[in-house]
Chain A
Amino acid sequence: GAVVSQHPSRVICKSGTSVKIECRSLDFQATTMFWYRQFPKQSLMLMATSNEGSKATYEQGVEKDKFLINHASLTLSTLTVTSAHPEDSSFYICSAADRGQETQYFGPGTRLLVL
């Protein structure tokens, strides 16, 4: 089956620093990648949708200048949390869909802790 990886799996950083999270589709070309965020005891919330080679589409309430998304190739999307603050601490999960977009394959997630 299709495999999606995320790196790092866990990151701790100081407030004010930037953190980059990578999402890779290992055995298929992902024309679309999705970024989700999950706070404790809450459901996953879609943050943004990115299509290869174009700008990401952000959900309402998600700051595009704070959460920079780059989808430069068909196998890699990155999410950069700029000037991270403790309230950005969360579990970030990406998913990737191929050209048909019928099924999303999820990465294992990245736990971010901002001190």
Chain B
Amino acid sequence: KQEVTQIPAALSVPEGENLVLNCSFTDSAIYNLQWFRQDPGKGLTSLLLIQSSQREQTSGRLNASLDKSSGRSTLYIAASQPGDSATYLCAVTGAGSYQLTFGKGTKLSVIP
């Protein structure tokens, strides 16, 4: 059974800092990995999707990497802003099943 772990559970940084969120998964047989953002009481916003054959994806200040063999992904946020404050969820799609398994998320607070 796939398990997804996110470290740290919470993170507080001053505005302008670069930061890294970590995600690990136990079964490397994945179809893709996604990073989502969730604002309090809201649904999910997809940030980046990395196919299993890819190593990284970039969107603006966000960069996500994937090391499938070691079961790890990182989300790098450059020059953090208060508007980046949210919970960031990592999820993997199982190969052949298309079901998502989510981590518990990292709650990020960017202090002005």
Contacts and interface: CB of A to CB of B under 8 A. Distances in A.
B43 interface: yes
B60 interface: no
Nearest to A4: B43
Nearest to A94: B43
Contact of B43 (A34, A102, A106): A106
B99 interface: yes
Interface stretch (B11-19, B62-70, B71-79, B100-108): B100-108
Given A41-B104, A43-B104, A108 B43 contact: yes
B112 interface: no
B38 to A, nearest CB: 9
A76 interface: no
Interface string A31-70: 0101000000111111001000000000000000000000
Contacts, number: 47
Contacts of A32: 98
Contact of B99 (A6, A46, A109): A46
Interface of chain B, main secondary structure = strand
A96 interface: no
A93 interface: yes
A43 B99 contact: no
A34 B101 CA distance: 12
Contacts of A102: 31-32, 98
B54 interface: no
Of B49, B89, B98, chain A has the most CB atoms within 10 Å of the CB of B98
B42 A49 contact: no
